[in-house]
Structure 1
């Protein structure tokens, strides 16, 4: 082989080696995270949110209301029951407003204090917290779990793992069952479970949602937050130098190093950080907060609780890791300056818009009509002459009673003289029901001009005259 060929071969080998190294860096093997249990004020707040969210989720579907389930999203009947409200597909406007409120709330709280949602109320965080608690109760603390995973398979290890996976599976299936209980009445679902008579879609969604709960909270955990959640990627554009984030103070903490309790770090030419690594051990995503702000940080503040405990044991001031802002760190602001800059114009605009939308939403719900009427003119016969010489038009009325009691309604027509309607007697609509009524409206030929004339069809509740709907429609007279 000549020299040019040798050079080409060397270049090819070097390229292959570089590609292999690049592939190694891009596809790193996951290092399992073993979070250490931590206590403190922020851990207490996390568990308060865990209890609050799960009591609502698991308990709300069992709450009775007017002889039915308090919250029931009846997709088959196309009715959503939420306490005393009954929502129909025509009420999608309220859902749109609710989504806008959720989006603005996310912008507002993220701009104020970063990933509060992720750290305290996100379902991924909440269920991961519950699953880790179960894991700790069955397998032991962090070091015991690590030893158990490294130990060879034995009857003891198999039994412990089976107990943990069984507990996770039971909780996951109950979570899926509860979710389906918001779409199928929960008592009917219990009866189906006891008689093994689940419908195919009910069974599918129980296992689907339960399976993903198990997968995300039990198996994948931090990988969901680091690689799958889009919020982790675009949260940076919501931050600014005055956003409260969890921060390590390098001016105070560096250089790190071990020392005896109560030792003065200045005499040792060291910072306050004792380099114990507990802040890394308690992190559910396995990052080191001392390396600066990272997108993997979910803002759970476990590292703050852990570091404060270490500082307390060392007789050092707390707050080596704390909630603060980028500007506060640079300019050494106190709490008053931080608060003043947190409440900046951007935040006030978000807050003002959010309050306005919430007020409009509440007002819309409070003044929402309990009656809806759709008037559809019969197209098969535009107009016809009846026996007594009067001209008649036919209309189809879709009357929605949006209350949970049956109601009687009366019809009236105005806009032309000598109007006669048939039927002219009140009709009843069931509770949260829809009724179609065919109405014939007849007028003398001379009561209007040939062609289209405007008339008003009014539907009024017999038990409450203030509940009424007046709809405009066209009445055709022959030319």
Structure 2
């Protein structure tokens, strides 16, 4: 058993010559290792597979999730969001942003390590690369080998799968804005509109280049999040941290053990598994995406050398200084984020539970404000716009509530048909006897009530205007 461990450690030292800190001058081929944080990453990747499946779900004969831009609607199963409800989208964006800030303040760049599109797609691409071309050392040898039959076959297979994923990514994105089955048909028959081709080509290009070639360079040079995270974290933020007091002085595990040597055996495996190629032992850097791969690697080495795990672990700077970590409710920044999150969630819940089936607006005619008729009566004109948000047409009765002497000026049936999903504008004239108007402006309440379903009743406050 001891000989096997010794052989494994020697093999690690031999491999360590291939693991260098990222200097931006070579492709990072990270070693893939099993571990709890690797499992967390797989769980997150599995969640992202839902993005490729959701457009194919149907609800009442239509696509369940659809951003219908031409009709200015967002469908989410039985829920339909209209432009009039756009304020809820603002709350959703605030909710997502504050969630990102809160998570970063608590545990660092969790988004980058497990949920970022770039991270997930790079992980898929490198998994394919690992299965086809072999481990990092084999891939480096293949890259430096001359172009021959085996290299061409492996590269062709790898890039074919990369291209397939990139195309599926582009099609899936477009599918959230149009019917997915019709979209596939239009692509396969080469009859898709120009916009669909442009979006597909753009997403394909960005996915293929960013995930396949640029990889960690996107995190270093293009993503602004790495540079602004410093204002989101503090001494209480828990991130992957190297225990320098326990690990130093580091040294090779060769020859006789020395009591003066720390627990770090300088195998550089933490560098070898890092997807961005940083050395966590040198402290926190903008390249660290807090994915925890270095923790899995270091824990496996500690098991081999019979030393306790946790040389690299999630810990705060305050904890490393020997100070206790305060509870979350005593951290002002986290409490502030929590309050904003709660208010945003309450606003979204209120909005979703109070979406009216019919949206009503009434605009008083401005020019002229009123008309003095020959018989002495006064007429006001109003433009009514009603939006039917239900899936069926509605027959609505129009009425008003105001002082006696003001009425709707029509002999026709005071009803209107609101087509489903349509904005219906129509004009309404009110006539008032002069003696009924005590003030320059008299309150008027317009009422739309469904003939089929009296529970659908919408009111709008306006005014009737007379002269001086």
Task: Please give the TM-score of this superposition, normalised by the length of structure 2.
Answer: 0.89
Structure 1 gaps of 5+ residues are 1-27
Q: Quick check: 1:411–1:424 contact (8 Å CA) kept in 2?
A: no
Q: In structure 2, how many angstroms separate the alpha carbons of the residues matched to 1:292 and 1:109? A: 21
Partner of 2:171: 177
Deviations 1:131-168 (A, max 9, x none): 11111122111111111001111122122112111111
Partner of 2:388: 401
Q: In structure 2, how many angstroms separate the alpha carbons of the residues matched to 1:407 and 1:264? A: 88
Partner of 1:365: 352
Q: In structure 1, how many angstroms separate the alpha carbons of the residues matched to 2:201 and 2:337? A: 40
Q: In structure 1, how many angstroms separate the alpha carbons of the residues matched to 2:214 and 2:247? A: 33
Q: Following TM superposition, where does structure 1 have runs of at least 4 consecutive aligned residues deviating by more than 6 angstroms?
A: 385-389
Out of 242, 247, 254, the position equivalent to 2:241 is: 247
CA-CA distance at 1:103 after TM superposition: 1.7
Partner of 2:408: 420
Is residue 443 of structure 1 aligned with residue 409 of structure 2? no
Q: Quick check: 1:242–1:341 contact (8 Å CA) kept in 2?
A: no
RMSD between aligned alpha carbons? 2.3
Cα 1:352–1:445, aligned 2, differ >3 Å: closer, same or farther?
closer
Q: In structure 2, how many angstroms separate the alpha carbons of the residues matched to 1:389 and 1:236? A: 73
Is residue 50 of structure 1 aligned with residue 45 of structure 2? yes
Partner of 2:341: 354
Is residue 39 of structure 1 aligned with residue 5 of structure 2? no
Partner of 2:106: 112
Give SS of 1:159's match: helix
CA-CA distance at 1:421 after TM superposition: 4.4
Is residue 344 of structure 1 aligned with residue 331 of structure 2? yes
Q: In structure 1, how many angstroms separate the alpha carbons of the residues matched to 2:338 and 2:52? A: 31
Q: How does 1:284-299 map to 2 (within 5 A)?
A: 284-299=275-290
Give SS of 1:169's match: helix
Partner of 1:280: 271
CA-CA distance at 1:386 after TM superposition: 6.8
Q: Quick check: 1:404–1:432 contact (8 Å CA) kept in 2?
A: yes
Partner of 2:6: none
Q: How does 1:151-300 map to 2 (within 5 A)?
A: 151-259=145-253, 265=257, 267=258, 269-300=260-291
Q: In structure 2, how many angstroms separate the alpha carbons of the residues matched to 1:125 and 1:207? A: 21
Q: Quick check: 1:42–1:301 contact (8 Å CA) kept in 2?
A: yes
Out of 277, 301, 319, the position equivalent to 1:310 is: 301
Q: Quick check: 2:395–2:416 contact (8 Å CA) kept in 1?
A: yes
CA-CA distance at 1:29 after TM superposition: 5.5
Q: In structure 1, how many angstroms separate the alpha carbons of the residues matched to 2:137 and 2:219? A: 24
Partner of 2:19: none
Stretch moving more, 207-216 or 424-433: 424-433
Q: In structure 2, how many angstroms separate the alpha carbons of the residues matched to 1:290 and 1:341? A: 27
CA-CA distance at 1:186 after TM superposition: 1.0
CA-CA distance at 1:343 after TM superposition: 5.7
Give SS of 1:375's match: strand
Task: Please give the TM-score of this superposition, normalised by the length of structure 1.
Answer: 0.87
Partner of 1:328: 319
Out of 116, 125, 131, the position equivalent to 2:119 is: 125
Stretch moving more, 429-438 or 462-471: 462-471
Deviations 1:447-470 (A, max 9, x none): 225854332211123344343322
Higher relative CO (Cα under 8 Å, sequence separation at least 6) belongs to: 2
Give SS of 2:327's match: helix
Deviations 1:150-191 (A, max 9, x none): 111112212211211111111111111110111111122022
Q: Quick check: 2:329–2:335 contact (8 Å CA) kept in 1?
A: no
Partner of 1:471: 460
